[in-house]
A and B are shown apart, each in its own frame.
Chain A
């Protein structure tokens, strides 16, 4: 397998701020790779390092085996879909999409043909004459995508591209992005702070915090076997449990992560398990989140629709399968 993007101990420091700090990373060719993390965690800076808008202060970056340091953005076979789309307001949709071909000197007829083709691919055929100002948010997003894809990049970078869309449109675009990526076979590097988005779309996810990568893995690995308390908490709001609790109820050593949906709530009479008290409940539609207190800890449980819901303040017993208690390597 070819490596599309490789970071070797890459750092980007702004005087005292370590935006990206000694990051090692390999993105495989043809992969849908997500960079997930809270704002200020270094994921966007990492993306800008790949695009060439930032240069590393230390370390080495390769894009398809070629050294990237010192190569300006316009000489990289990499295109970006910007968070604010950055469509050129003075050009119509056709000229926006054809821009990359125009500056490369592709003849007018050919670039118009390629533009119509890619506009059809993003389901905006015949929109060429419109101005960006006349389009809805979702349509602008598609134009931004078309403008990047028309250049046939080896790597497509997406900087929180769905952030400005409403929920329905976002889910639809997630599907479309995923199928576009399969169809074109282009490596996608996708930056998001939305863990649901990262888990549902990506082949692999890198979780960022404070300029460092906390864990890289498939969505299943990240979700089921978080490597640290940060990952457990950030991805899917797991219950992070201290070593003495883990020792007492599962016999293992170290900090534990217990997913809210793997907890069952039983009446107190049922006996065995963790004694707890219900603090509050919130209805989520397909499920109900129950906040409980046990041994001075806040614990979240998610009950599927149809399960018996305990009353607020009710004393209950929590049970879970021991294999669902994942013990993390680091604290």
Chain B
């Protein structure tokens, strides 16, 4: 098996792999290019000229800031809710045995398997029956349904690999529940929560379908972008926003990737 790793791939495979990767990532570069175009009504190729004026235009548009703020706010709150609920649920399911455990596990995971449109319609009907007015909080509720799942999935996998006797050892050595959480559980599941939390944030940040059904007049960033594409006015502003979002999110995701990779080694070394 080890020898296979050193075999050189045939040229055709290399070309195919390169082509595949280019197909995935070139369109993203196109978005960057169009952020500098002088043409603002359509995406003409090649761009007739280049300018940086759209950055200033974007900076001065209040609707951009409103959408961005709302998206960050919704994603932060949803992630926070998901971190608390997802971790608690994962702890209960993985550390104890009780009647209906498998059912609860399934019901928690279900929202991510359901099409967003179903979740959206269901929530919208429920909100109207309960006469809950649409607000930031209804969007948060909608997003939390799937954010909990990704945190739960990450946490439950880590809990399963963490020996249950660690908690008992901590209690045995005189640590109460809070100290055990602070000094033993958190360090062991921390990187899993970081990865789950970042994924939850990312999912919430670019969610469109559920948001459409649970938002009132407010626009989150992805919904604002969709609207902008329909109305051909200062099109490159959308690209500027997209580019900034990509750059700002790229670094934390890279960091999370490296952090969780190391975390797996630490968690595995105890076995």
Q: Which A residues contact B (CB, under 8 angstroms)?
A: 51-53, 72-74, 78-80, 82-84, 86-91, 99-100, 102-104, 131-133, 147-148, 151
B176 touches A87 (CB 8 A): no
B179 touches A103 (CB 8 A): yes
Interface residues of B in 154-198 (CB under 8 A from A): 163, 165-166, 168-176, 179, 183-184, 187-188
Chain B nearest CB from A253 CB (Å) reads 49
Q: When A and B form their complex, which 10 residue pairs have the shortest distance between CB atoms, in order from nearest?
A: A133-B269, A89-B270, A100-B173, A86-B169, A86-B165, A103-B175, A73-B171, A90-B187, A80-B172, A74-B174
B165 touches A84 (CB 8 A): yes
Q: List the count of A-B residue pairs having beta carbons below 8 Å apart.
A: 78
Chain A nearest CB from B97 CB (Å) reads 10
B267 at the interface (CB under 8 A from A): yes
Chain B nearest CB from A51 CB (Å) reads 6
Contacting residues, chain B, for A91 (C-beta < 8 A): 187
19 contacts between A and B (CB under 8 A): A53-B168, A72-B171, A72-B176, A73-B168, A74-B174, A74-B175, A79-B173, A80-B172, A84-B165, A86-B165, A87-B169, A89-B267, A91-B187, A103-B170, A103-B173, A147-B173, A148-B172, A148-B173, A151-B173
Given contacts A74-B176, A99-B175, contact A86 B183 (CB under 8 A): no
A79 touches B172 (CB 8 A): yes
Contacting residues, chain A, for B270 (C-beta < 8 A): 87-89, 132-133
**Chain A proximity mask over B80-97: 1 for CB below 8 Å, otherwise 0:** 000000000000000000
A90 touches B165 (CB 8 A): no
B172 touches A73 (CB 8 A): yes
B17 at the interface (CB under 8 A from A): no
**Told that A78-B172, A84-B165, A89-B166 touch, could you supply 12 new A-B pairs with CB distance under 8 A?**
A53-B171, A53-B172, A79-B173, A88-B170, A89-B267, A90-B187, A99-B175, A100-B173, A100-B174, A102-B183, A103-B179, A151-B173
> With the chains together, A86 CA to B175 CA distance in Å?
15
Interface size on B, residues (CB 8 A): 21
Chain A nearest CB from B267 CB (Å) reads 7
B44 at the interface (CB under 8 A from A): no
**Closest residue of chain A to B184, judged by CB?**
A88
B168 touches A89 (CB 8 A): no
Chain A nearest CB from B74 CB (Å) reads 33
Contacting residues, chain A, for B267 (C-beta < 8 A): 89
B163 touches A84 (CB 8 A): yes
B266 touches A90 (CB 8 A): yes
> With the chains together, A89 CA to B165 CA distance in Å?
12
B183 touches A103 (CB 8 A): yes
**Closest residue of chain B to A159, judged by CB?**
B165
**Closest residue of chain B to A103, judged by CB?**
B175
Contacting residues, chain B, for A51 (C-beta < 8 A): 168, 172
> With the chains together, A29 CA to B50 CA distance in Å?
87
> With the chains together, A201 CA to B33 CA distance in Å?
78
Interface residues of B in 229-268 (CB under 8 A from A): 266-267
Contacting residues, chain B, for A100 (C-beta < 8 A): 173-174
**Closest residue of chain A to B162, judged by CB?**
A89
Contact of B168 among A82, A99, A151 (CB under 8 A): A82
Contacting residues, chain B, for A103 (C-beta < 8 A): 170, 173-176, 179, 183
A88 touches B169 (CB 8 A): yes
Contacting residues, chain A, for B173 (C-beta < 8 A): 74, 79, 99-100, 103, 147-148, 151
Chain B nearest CB from A121 CB (Å) reads 17
A86 touches B171 (CB 8 A): no
> With the chains together, A104 CA to B183 CA distance in Å?
13
> With the chains together, A80 CA to B171 CA distance in Å?
10
Contacting residues, chain B, for A53 (C-beta < 8 A): 168, 171-172
Contacting residues, chain A, for B174 (C-beta < 8 A): 74, 100, 103-104, 151
> With the chains together, A153 CA to B12 CA distance in Å?
69
